[in-house]
Structure 1
Amino acid sequence: MWRSVASNALTLFIVILIALAALVAWGRNEFVKPGPLAGPICLQVERGASLSAVSRNLEERGAITDARIFRIGAEYADRAGNLKFGSYMVPAGASMEQVLEAITATGKSTCGRDLNFRIGVARADVVLSELDLTSNAYVEVARFDAGVEALPPEYLEVADDPALVFRVTVAEGVTSWQVVDALKKADFLQGSLETVPPEGTLAPGGYEPVRGTERGALIAEMTARQSAILAEAWEKRAQGLPYDTPEEALIMASIVEKETGIAEERGRVASVFLNRLAQGMRLQTDPTVIYGITKGEGVLGRGLRQSELRRETPYNTYVIDGLPPTPIANPGAEAIRAALNPDRTDYLFFVADGSGGHAFAETLEEHNRNVAAWRKIEAEQGAADEGGVQGE
């Protein structure tokens, strides 16, 4: 009798195990198979939201078939506590596994409204965009100057939206004063900025502060990023460069940044100035003279006068030997790398070529021909004083 009972119990146990295995296999299949969404949706995960609330929202919107399976899968993947605040696009047919990856991986929003506070050399502006789920591309909704009193209605409608994603984009070649002045106008940031960071120490690029971020904390992030970029480039620098310190390389990088916006030219431009230093020539570059006039506080807005080119200031490289005392802007990573790993050339001169780039020359005779060609283009364009000639 007892043997029969034991045999039946063992049989029942095996049946239960098989059933559990089948249930697990079914749940796993439900978790990884394509989901029910016929079209993409934008899912907003609010700050502090629970996995239970998010899973119910997904089920109600038809993105997943079963909120319980989604939660169990998240627990099994050890991601139940990794929800990231933000707005995420869930594409058509996304599996539960793919949805979980989207809302727990990086925290980088992929849909919804996007406010990009852009700090440029000439101005700071704000671009409000919204993701078009059909084309999967952000469409501009409004654009306005930073700090304006009459904010456009498109911005006022979403200004308090907790899902609004904020970005700060700093262009290469802006000055530290321009960054500080612009950040003071960003109404989604808080805290004061009492001092301007040393020139060149802020990394251009994109940042994603949340609403209420301290302005000082954002400046600290820019400073830390630039310090890391410079340190890495300094470690990988070419041999035989005339820099005693990374700071001197940063000065050169800022000049390169202001002289060309074309990526493939940076190494050649750096080589020109390093070749001049090697031959005891003066750098003779207009952007340094301009910085000596403006101190980095805005743009000059006109051409340089001959008297300004002759006036001796610490930044007038037509008059002084060697590098100016500080950077003249905040260079990007590529300009820093160009200053520390320049092209190997014999170029000593360059001038605009009319295409947005420059014509380079090894001799003054060749340079003069390039200048003549540029002057002809200038005359045809009716911009006789916009030459940007180097080394005349």
Structure 2
Amino acid sequence: MLKKLLFAVVGLCLAGLLAAVVFWKALDWYGNQPMIGPGSADSLEFTIAQGESMTGVADSLAKSGWLHYPKLFVLLAKIEKAAGAIHAGDYLIPAGITHRDLLKVFTSGQVRYYNVTLVEGHTLKEVMAALNQHEKLSSPMDHEALQALYKSLEIAGNPEGLFYPDTYFFQANASVESILRRAYQRMDTVLHEEWEKRAEGLPYQSPYEALIMASLVEKETGVPYERGEIAGVFVRRLEKGMRLQTDPTVIYGLGDRYKGNISRQMLRDATPYNTYVIKGLPPTPIAMAGREAIHAALHPEDGQSLYFVAKGDGTHYFSKTLAEHNRAVRQYQIEQRRENYRSTVEAQ
């Protein structure tokens, strides 16, 4: 009797062991199976909320049609010690990834990054519109929030131009403020790096004045090879006591009054930014300037040109004398005039 009982116990143990081995093998097989999206989907944008459990993740994947047997997925996660180690965030799950590899993605925090580009030549108003409307950025900033940010950054006066134009990467739900803080710090770093390598004899008293000049260069041309020459014209005009007479400063000073055309009366408007009226640089930058424009402002090209006029193809014609400039104006602004042509630096 005892022998039969012993054989029965051994048999049950062996059966249990065999069942465990089979189950383990089946779970291992499941872990190595590829995930296939419904239909022709080749990837899934998936979000794990802060504090979400592995059960919740598995249920969401199952509802999307990307996961079969969610309870097995949760069990696999527990055995792989992944259940309590997942990272919140957005993920882009490719079709064909195995269940086990997906768990590795969730636990390693390979979250999806998004980006926003602050464009060279854009004003702070345009920047804020882009940031506040970005669907993956949180906490849009109103006037009051911006003022609080400027105070914390110790920005006094107009903050125009103090944020660096670049592409910034972030995780979903990063705040608008976090991007602005990064852009502010980046501008401070780039400006001082370029200031330390500046040419000698420039008519700037501070890096900030160089930044103002860089913003003028940025607004005047999008052609890289012209930046140094444009900066050279402006620097020579400053040194000779000539007014800069550049339309972008007039437009900036007009604000919302500018509707697409500059009248003669606007050129006579005594705003602090009207360089047809004031001498020297405007009081602040008029847009965001990139490193190339800053470098050009600090390394203006030598030459004798004091004027330039838009040719209508994105480039400019540079002149040494007023007579030569007037001939160029007639050629490019009158005889071959196209829509939106205008001389950007006019006679005194």
**Partners of 2:333 and 2:343 within 8 A in 1:** no
Instruction: Give the one of 206, 226, 239 matched to 1:245.
Output: 206
- The answer as to 2:89 corresponding to 1:85 is yes
Identity between Structure 1 and Structure 2 (%) = 38
**1:330 corresponds to which of 274, 288, 305:** 288
Q: How many angstroms does 1:45 deviate by?
A: 2.7
1:279 and 1:260 map into 2 onto residues whose CA distance is 23
Counterpart of 1:42, as a letter, is: L
Match of 2:312 in 1: 354
In 1, are the aligned partners of 2:234 and 2:244 still within 8 Å (CA)? yes
1:320 to 268, 271, 278: 278
Match of 1:261 in 2: 222
- In the TM superposition, residue 255 of structure 1 has moved relative to its aligned partner by 0.9
Find the aligned partners of 2:86 and 2:296 in 1 and give their Cα distance: 40
| SS of residue in 2 equivalent to 1:203 | coil
- Choose 249-258 or 352-361, whichever is displaced more: 352-361
Higher relative contact order structure (alpha carbons within 8 Å, sequence separation ≥ 6): 2
> Tell me, which stretches of 5 or more residues in structure 1 are unaligned?
1-22, 110-166
Q: 1:336 to 1:70 in 2, by over 3 A?
A: farther
Partner amino acid, structure 1, of 2:259: G
What are the residue-to-residue correspondences of 1:376-391 with 2, within 5 Å?
Answer: 376=334, 378-379=336-337, 381=338, 383=339, 386-391=341-346
Query: Could you say which structure has the larger radius of gyration?
Result: 2
- Identify which of 31, 46, 49 aligns with 1:47: 49
Tell me whether 1:104 sits opposite 2:104 in the alignment: no
1:230 aligned counterpart, secondary structure: helix
Instruction: Report the CA distance shift for 1:193/1:353 in structure 2 as closer, same or farther (over 3 A).
Output: same
| Structure 2 spans left out of the alignment, 5+ residues | 1-23, 148-156
- Once the two structures are superposed, the pairs formed by residues 124-135 of structure 1 within 5 Å of their partners are none
Q: Distance in 2 between matches of 1:307 and 1:192?
A: 34
Q: Residues 245 and 356 (structure 1 numbering): CA distance in 2 closer, same or farther, change over 3 Å?
A: same
* Alignment length (residue pairs): 300
Report the Cα distance in structure 2 between the residues aligned to 1:283 and 1:61, rounded to whole angstroms.
Answer: 63
Amino acid at match of 1:269: I
Q: Secondary structure at the match of 1:351?
A: strand
- Residues 191, 199 of structure 1: CA spacing in aligned structure 2 closer, same or farther, 3 A cutoff? closer
1:301 to 259, 262, 272: 259
Deviations 1:189-225 (A, max 9, x none): 3564234852222334455585594x65554444333
- Going from structure 1 to structure 2, the CA distance change for 1:100 and 1:345 (only over 3 Å counts) comes to farther
2:121 corresponds, among 157, 173, 177, to 173
Does the 8 Å CA contact 1:180/1:193 hold for their aligned counterparts? no
1:155 maps to which residue?
Answer: none
Q: Which amino acid aligns with 1:330?
A: M
Whole-Å separation in 1 of the counterparts to 2:185 and 2:288: 13
Separation in 1, partners of 2:298, 2:110: 35
Deviations 1:95-115 (A, max 9, x none): 766984697246405xxxxxx
TM-align CA RMSD:
4.6
Instruction: Give CA deviations for 1:261-316 in whole Å, capped at 9, x if unaligned.
Output: 33443333223212333444332211222333x2xx33611433334434554333
Report the alpha carbon displacement of residue 55 of structure 1 after superposing the two structures with TM.
7.3
Q: Residue 278 and residue 355 in structure 1: after superposition, are their counterparts in 2 closer, same or farther (change >3 A)? A: same
Q: 1:339 to 1:70 in 2, by over 3 A?
A: farther
CA separation of 1:209 and 1:46: change in aligned 2, threshold 3 A: closer
Q: Secondary structure at the match of 1:298?
A: helix
Q: TM-score, normalised by structure 2?
A: 0.64
Change (3 A) 1:90 1:250: same
Matched, 1:273 2:273: no
Which structure has more helix as a fraction of its residues? 2
**Residue in structure 2 matched with residue 11 of structure 1 by the alignment:** none
Residue 61 of structure 1 is aligned with which of 55, 62, 66?
Answer: 66
Q: After the TM superposition, which residues 223-234 of structure 1 pair with which residues of structure 2 at under 5 Å, given as runs?
A: 223-234=184-195
User: Per-residue CA shift, 1:95-143, capped at 9, x if unaligned?
Assistant: 766984697246405xxxxxxxxxxxxxxxxxxxxxxxxxxxxxxxxxx
C-alpha change, 1:366 and 1:216, in structure 2 (3 Å) is same
